[in-house]
Amino acid sequence: MPTSVNAGARLDRLPISSFHHRIFWLVGAGMFFDGYDLYVAGSVLAATVSSKFSTLTQNLQFISLTFVGMTVGSFVTGFLGDWFGRRFTYQVNLLIFGLASLAAACAQNMEQLIACRFVQGLGLGAEIVVGYSTLTEFVPPRSRGRWLAFMAFLTVAGFPATSLIAYLIVPTWGWRPLFVIAGVGALLVWYLRKALPESPRWLESKGRVAEAEALMQAIEAEASAAGPLPTPAPSAVTPPVGALALLRPPLLQRLLLGCWVLITINTLIFGFVIFLPQFFLRQGLSISQSFGYTLVLASGSLIGCAVGAFTADLIGRRWSIIGASIATIVVGSIYAGFSAASDPAIVLSVGFVLIVAIYVQTAILFGVYTPELFPTEVRLRANGICNTLGRLATVFSPFLVGHLMQTYQLPGVIGLMVALLLVQIVAVFVWGVESRKRGLEEMAVASQPV
């Protein structure tokens, strides 16, 4: 029986094949409904407060409890994924948020809806940790940034999809069908994703070499249909990595960096983007106009992810993050000045560019960079810890944003964004390790930017 499978090098030298496309869509379908279910909050809360089903205070509780659930889900999933495997964890979280979404559609009052949303949050927090990390372990390094950023594109597609569906459905049918769509979609993907294979890298890291070898042979047989495969690089000799390695350099710096960038991007999304319908309502727009404005801006999220997919492999992760952070600061400051403008063209055009800059970061930080920073043995738990801190920040940020919105209006919210981004720029420049076109095993021992 072989003692080493060399799964990492064998996966990294494979040409893109039908296997990669199948993995992408099996994971991506679940990520789309994760994004849909996450972004549905903005449309649902605008509708519930407009119809007197909820109050602003209850809406803040809804958002906060969502992130409490996501915080718990992110943390627990990181450990479950490293202990029991990526495939098992992925299926469990889909089932949780699918069933909870259907229950939310039947809520009789806001208290019940908030309780259902907490349970949904458990699954939502788990999905984003295991989804990106799983795809990271299958895709070769020469195009990994592009594939993972397009996975973020599918996730973020839930934002304009939610906005469009809300624009078409909520004025006539109310907010409940939004949860029905999320629940039915998640359960359908749960059934289809039984065909998702386990990660050979994870199997080998657990000493299950026979299973890893059998799976690698099946993957290679499928990939070789287009021609002979390149010879894999020699097996990398890396020391075993335990959980305590996260408390020592260089992984400690990466862990701190991952936590801060996810705190920042979560606050940008859920302290600004998700509040867009309510910002517009406070400016005197109708519920239909608010959803219409939000739909226009939401399209910028897809363009931002596409730009992130292009730049991640072209100029690298670090400079893409730094450049998008600077653009967000500049355009965000301009947007704060124009927020009260009566001309919709000004508000929408500047806001559109701001959303693009935010979602360049979203694609790279969530989908590409953070999962790449850590070795296979601790990838999910480290990514889970980073997401836990990121989600924990969003437990409190809705209340902070609500206070800033009432006291200082939109400029106060933008000021919070700028402060977080300035720290992010410094942290990425000083501690960020460039992962462009580098194998995961090489990244595991890298300590300096490239």
274 closest CA partner among 68, 64, 109: 64
Burial 228-267 (b: 16+ CB within 10 A, else e): eeeebeeeeeeeebeeebbeeebbebbbebbbbbbbbbbb
Per-residue model confidence (pLDDT) at position 259: 96
Q: Cα–Cα–Cα angle for 220, 222, 228, nearest 5°? A: 60
pLDDT score of 176: 96
> What is the DSSP secondary-structure string of 150-169?
HHHHHHHTHHHHHHHHHHHH
Residue pair 104/123 in contact by the 8 Å Cβ criterion: no
Closest CA to 48 of 141, 179, 144: 179
> Tokens 């292009």 sit at which residue?
310
Indicate the burial class of 340 (C-beta count within 10 angstroms; 0-12, 13-18, 19 or more): exposed
Q: Which helix (H) or strand (E) holds 245?
A: none
Per-residue pLDDT of the chain (450 residues; tens, 9 = 90+): 456 799 999 999 999 999 999 999 999 999 999 889 887 887 898 889 888 899 988 988 898 888 889 889 989 998 999 999 998 898 888 899 899 999 999 999 999 999 999 999 999 888 888 999 999 999 999 999 999 999 999 998 887 888 888 888 998 999 999 999 999 999 999 998 888 899 999 999 999 999 999 999 999 999 998 788 988 888 665 667 777 888 888 899 999 999 999 999 989 987 777 677 666 666 666 666 777 777 788 888 899 999 999 999 999 999 999 999 999 999 988 887 766 555 677 778 888 999 999 999 999 999 899 999 999 889 999 999 999 998 888 777 777 887 887 888 778 888 999 999 999 999 999 999 999 989 888 887 765 555
Identify which of 230, 49, 226, 29 has the alpha carbon closest to the alpha carbon of residue 135.
Answer: 29
Q: Tell me the helices (H) and strands (E) count for the chain, helix number first.
A: 18, 0
Q: Quote the pTM value.
A: 0.85
Computed on alpha carbons and rounded to an integer, the radius of gyration of the chain in Å comes to 21
CA 240 – CA 86 distance, rounded (Å): 20
Tell me which residue of 179, 61, 73 sits closest to 124, measured CA to CA.
73
Predicted confidence at residue 337, as pLDDT, reads 74
Determine the Cα–Cα distance for residues 143 and 314; give it in Å rounded to an integer: 10
Give backbone dihedrals phi and psi of 97, rounded to 5 degrees, phi first. Answer: -80, -20
Strands, E assignment, 164-220 = none
Rounded to 10 deg, the angle between the 287-314 and 144-156 helix axes is 170
Q: Which pair of structure tokens corresponds to residue 182? A: 């999320």
CATH architecture of 11-221+245-441: Up-down Bundle (1.20)
pLDDT, position 261? 97
- pLDDT score for 278: 63
pLDDT of 287? 65
Give the DSSP per-residue string, 390-404: HHHHHHHHHHHHHHH
DSSP state of 230: P
pLDDT reported for residue 285: 67
In this structure, what token pair is assigned to residue 300? 């910028």
Q: In angstroms, rounded to a whole number, what is the distance separating the alpha carbons of residues 250 and 15? A: 31
Distances (CA, A) of 67 to 152, 161, 259, 390, 400: 19, 21, 15, 9, 14
- What are the tokens at 326? 């600077």
> Which of 279, 269, 260, 259 minimizes the C-alpha distance to 394?
269
Query: What is d(CA 209, CA 219) in angstroms, rounded to the nearest whole number?
Result: 15
Q: Which residues contact 58 (CB under 8 A, 6 or more apart)?
A: 48, 110, 114
Q: How many other C-beta atoms are found inside a 10 Å radius of the C-beta of residue 3?
A: 6
Alpha carbon 409 to its chain's center: 28
| DSSP state, residue 199 | P
